[in-house]
Chains A and B, each alone.
Chain A
Amino acid sequence: MDIAVEVSEVTKIFGNFRALDGLSFEVKSGEVFGLIGPNGAGKTTALRIISTLLLPTYGTVKIFGLDVVKNAATIRKIISYLPEEAGAYRYLSGWEYLEFMAKFYTKDDEKVREMVNEAARISGLGERLKDKTGTYSKGMKRRLLVARALMNKPKLAILDEPTSGLDVIHSYHVREIIKKYVKDYGVTVILSSHNMLEVEHVCDKVALINKGKVIAEGTPRELEEKFESENLEEVFAKVVKLA
């Protein structure tokens, strides 16, 4: 299996604050990789560096062999990033928003239509896509944004809390979509989540990070065995307490 993401000894310093401190991990192609950790552990900073938004202070990050600093423009063509608190343009309808986003990936009108139809199917928003996004509930907006992140079938999808703000039914729906995309289109996914059930259910591999570095890594089963825990939630509590 190819290496999709290679994070080596990454440190990120904001002023006097060290958000990441020698973070390292690898994600294989076609894998769903979960980043978990307490608030302020550095998950979002790590995802922002992988998605070319921030530059590492030290260390390197490679996406399918491309460096995030030197090859940022090329990387942006093959990734899709869903921020934790993302929003949509309130005066555009759902359709218009999806069209606007799709046109950055292709100039072919037919392909744009295909992408938007795919996103409409993923979001399940139906007729509400004709309404302005400013009228959407938090859950509806999140579904629209998840659909936007997956509609172009990226080689790497970086999803920060993909089911944040969604109810049980819609969370389940989104998780199934992520799994389907990995299986059908070979999309590699890195996601962060506070929902351990979700991580256990979706992720092939998990890295637990705290204070900007990985403190445990493996498949959910491996971690449960290693830390003699019944589930990932217990692993999380034990590891963070130990750290």
Chain B
Amino acid sequence: MLKGFRNFLLKELKEFARDPKILLGIVIVPLVLFSVLGGLMSYAMQSAEESTIRSNFVVINNDCENWSYTFIKFLSSSGSKVFVEENVELNDGKLIELLSKYNVTQALEIPKGFSANITAHAKNPNITASVKFYVHITTTNIFDATRYLPIDATISQFNRALAPDVLNIEKSTIIKGEIKHNVDPATVSGLMVSQSVFIPIAIIILLFYSIQLAATSVAIEKEEKTLETLLTLPIDRLTILFGKLVGSMIIAAIGAVTYIAGYAYFMQSLISKTTPNFVMDLVSLGLVPSFLGYVLLGASLFVTILSALALAVILSAFAGDVRSAQSLVGFIYPIIFLSTFALMYIDAGALPYALRLVLYAIPFSHPIIVSKAVIMGDYVTPTLSIFYVSFFTLALMYVASRLFATEKILTAKLKLKWFTKYGKTTGEP
């Protein structure tokens, strides 16, 4: 049974093992990728944990009676750093000014009558006191929703110590400089997280499609021996290059639209089953990009895909066939994974400077940075980002056009000396 199987299997394994590109892709890249991803995740979790423990507040005390001071003391004892302002007439602008003054994102307002209500509660349990909790949402990542949990715990501890249900909390969210009253920040954050996961996944898929198509379309010309003929025809070599780039982009866009449509349907069906009474949406909160935002996001995606395509074309120029080209472009995937996953979990602005620079230097990070910025109404970051990625893409296009303009498109070979030596056979030629 299966005569010759062992012999055949050995041949297959030898072929794979002696291809240095496959060895790199299968063994070394995943090891590096997962170590770096692990590091990023632990950093993200650690910073989320720290921000949860150290939830700093600005407390606006408009009551200035005994119970308000007791409550502030209680807040301070729970590990949070508390900055206190007294007798401030609050409006949208004033609140943001205070948050910015103390460099915090959360504020707690103790309204006038707070102490009186607590005292009255002892005689009439129907009378309760309340505080107003405000969260300024400026960015989003997966761990954001957990940041706002400590306040609930603090209130419930305060109630346990004093009297059940004596103190209520009214939560509001500040979005784009406007207070959305009675909108729970955790819910908003949850909604935004679903978007912050969806966009990177869609971008990863779009980039993967484009890269595969561009690399294959050049490599197949070599494998099927059509490139030599093509290069001797009276056609500008740049026409061939742009033909390949645009062709790959169109097909990738069709693929991406189909995929995103399928994914959106999938998400929709999940939401409708799990949250039938869900009324809040990002549109009503103003947390969707404006028309200009969409234009900037589209431009960012366009230049990023173009940079990925140019990179794929450059790499595939060093491959002799489709398999080699796919192995070579496989080296781009970890970079895409790392940058997109990092931005899913981490707020880029909170990273150490050197790491932030690395993340910004990777062009594939930028559509996510732009998508987050346009939701928040920030148009400066996207503009700078588009300029940077365009410059990067132009540099890549120049290299690709030089490869196509010279004989290198036919003769270039990637030399992986150490691996070639490692994979050498000891037999006679």
- Residues of A with Cβ closer than 8 Å to B? 14, 48, 51-55, 73, 76-77, 79-83, 85-90, 101, 104-105, 145, 148
Interface residues as binary, B222-237 with A (CB distance below 8 Å gives 1, 0 otherwise): 0011101101111110
- Residue in A53, A73, A90 whose beta carbon sits within 8 Å of that of B410 in the complex: A53
Q: List 19 A-B contacts (CB under 8 A).
A: A51-B232, A54-B411, A73-B234, A79-B232, A80-B232, A81-B229, A81-B232, A83-B228, A83-B229, A86-B228, A87-B225, A87-B226, A88-B226, A89-B224, A104-B233, A104-B235, A105-B234, A145-B229, A148-B229
Measured CA separation A146–B411 after assembly (Å): 25
Asked whether A14 lies within 8 Å of B411 as measured between CB atoms, the reply is yes
Q: How many positions in chain B have a CB within 8 Å of any CB in the partner chain?
A: 15
- Tell me whether B42 is interfacial, beta carbon within 8 Å: no
- Tell me whether B407 is interfacial, beta carbon within 8 Å: yes
Give the residue name and chain of the B residue nearest to A80 (CB): B232
Asked whether A77 lies within 8 Å of B224 as measured between CB atoms, the reply is no
CB of A221 to closest CB in B, whole Å: 33
Measured CA separation A55–B409 after assembly (Å): 12
Measured CA separation A107–B407 after assembly (Å): 28
**Chain A contacts of B411 at CB under 8 A?**
14, 54
CB of B168 to closest CB in A, whole Å: 69
Task: Decide: A89 near B233, CB < 8 A? Known: A53-B410, A54-B407, A54-B410.
Answer: no
Asked whether B233 lies within 8 Å of A53 as measured between CB atoms, the reply is no
Asked whether B234 lies within 8 Å of A104 as measured between CB atoms, the reply is yes
**Chain A contacts of B235 at CB under 8 A?**
76, 104
For the A-B complex with A73-B234, A88-B224 known, give 8 more contacts whose Cβ atoms are closer than 8 Å: A51-B232, A52-B231, A54-B410, A55-B406, A76-B232, A76-B235, A83-B228, A85-B225
Measured CA separation A145–B410 after assembly (Å): 20
CB of B244 to closest CB in A, whole Å: 13
**Chain B contacts of A87 at CB under 8 A?**
224-226
- Residues of B with Cβ closer than 8 Å to A? 224-226, 228-229, 231-236, 406-407, 410-411
CB of B229 to closest CB in A, whole Å: 5
CB of B230 to closest CB in A, whole Å: 9
**Chain A contacts of B229 at CB under 8 A?**
81-83, 86, 145, 148
Asked whether B226 lies within 8 Å of A89 as measured between CB atoms, the reply is yes
Give the residue name and chain of the B residue nearest to A101 (CB): B233
CB of A31 to closest CB in B, whole Å: 20
**Chain A contacts of B407 at CB under 8 A?**
53-55
Measured CA separation A51–B230 after assembly (Å): 11
**Chain A contacts of B234 at CB under 8 A?**
73, 76-77, 104-105
Measured CA separation A148–B233 after assembly (Å): 11
CB of B352 to closest CB in A, whole Å: 44
Give the residue name and chain of the A residue nearest to B406 (CB): A55
CB of A82 to closest CB in B, whole Å: 8
- Residue in A53, A55, A89, A145 whose beta carbon sits within 8 Å of that of B232 in the complex: A53
**Chain A contacts of B236 at CB under 8 A?**
73
**Chain A contacts of B224 at CB under 8 A?**
87-90
Give the residue name and chain of the B residue nearest to A44 (CB): B228
Asked whether B233 lies within 8 Å of A76 as measured between CB atoms, the reply is yes
CB of B243 to closest CB in A, whole Å: 12
Going nearest first, the 10 A-B pairs with the smallest beta carbon separation are A87-B225, A87-B224, A81-B232, A83-B228, A77-B234, A76-B234, A104-B233, A54-B407, A85-B225, A51-B232
**Chain A contacts of B233 at CB under 8 A?**
76, 101, 104
Asked whether A86 lies within 8 Å of B232 as measured between CB atoms, the reply is no
Asked whether A53 lies within 8 Å of B226 as measured between CB atoms, the reply is no
**Chain B contacts of A53 at CB under 8 A?**
228, 231-232, 407, 410
Give the residue name and chain of the A residue nearest to B410 (CB): A53
CB of A55 to closest CB in B, whole Å: 6
Give the residue name and chain of the A residue nearest to B229 (CB): A86
**Chain B contacts of A76 at CB under 8 A?**
232-235
Measured CA separation A145–B229 after assembly (Å): 10
CB of A85 to closest CB in B, whole Å: 5
**Chain B contacts of A54 at CB under 8 A?**
407, 410-411
**Chain A contacts of B228 at CB under 8 A?**
48, 53, 81, 83, 86
CB of B286 to closest CB in A, whole Å: 48
Measured CA separation A206–B226 after assembly (Å): 28
Give the residue name and chain of the B residue nearest to A85 (CB): B225
CB of A105 to closest CB in B, whole Å: 7
- Residue in A48, A79, A83, A148 whose beta carbon sits within 8 Å of that of B225 in the complex: A83
Task: Decide: A86 near B225, CB < 8 A? Known: A76-B234, A77-B234.
Answer: yes
Measured CA separation A145–B232 after assembly (Å): 14
Measured CA separation A238–B178 after assembly (Å): 94
Measured CA separation A145–B407 after assembly (Å): 22
**Chain A contacts of B410 at CB under 8 A?**
53-54
CB of A112 to closest CB in B, whole Å: 14
Measured CA separation A51–B229 after assembly (Å): 10
**Chain B contacts of A83 at CB under 8 A?**
225, 228-229
**Chain B contacts of A14 at CB under 8 A?**
411
Chain A CB within 10 Å — which of B232, B236, B407 has the most?
B232
Measured CA separation A49–B232 after assembly (Å): 11
Measured CA separation A237–B115 after assembly (Å): 113
Measured CA separation A55–B407 after assembly (Å): 7
Measured CA separation A116–B33 after assembly (Å): 53
Measured CA separation A113–B231 after assembly (Å): 23
**Chain A contacts of B226 at CB under 8 A?**
86-89
Give the residue name and chain of the A residue nearest to B228 (CB): A83
Measured CA separation A88–B224 after assembly (Å): 7
**Chain A contacts of B231 at CB under 8 A?**
52-53
**Chain B contacts of A145 at CB under 8 A?**
229
Measured CA separation A80–B234 after assembly (Å): 10
Give the residue name and chain of the B residue nearest to A76 (CB): B234
Measured CA separation A52–B406 after assembly (Å): 10
CB of B2 to closest CB in A, whole Å: 31
Measured CA separation A105–B232 after assembly (Å): 12
Measured CA separation A20–B226 after assembly (Å): 24
**Chain A contacts of B406 at CB under 8 A?**
55
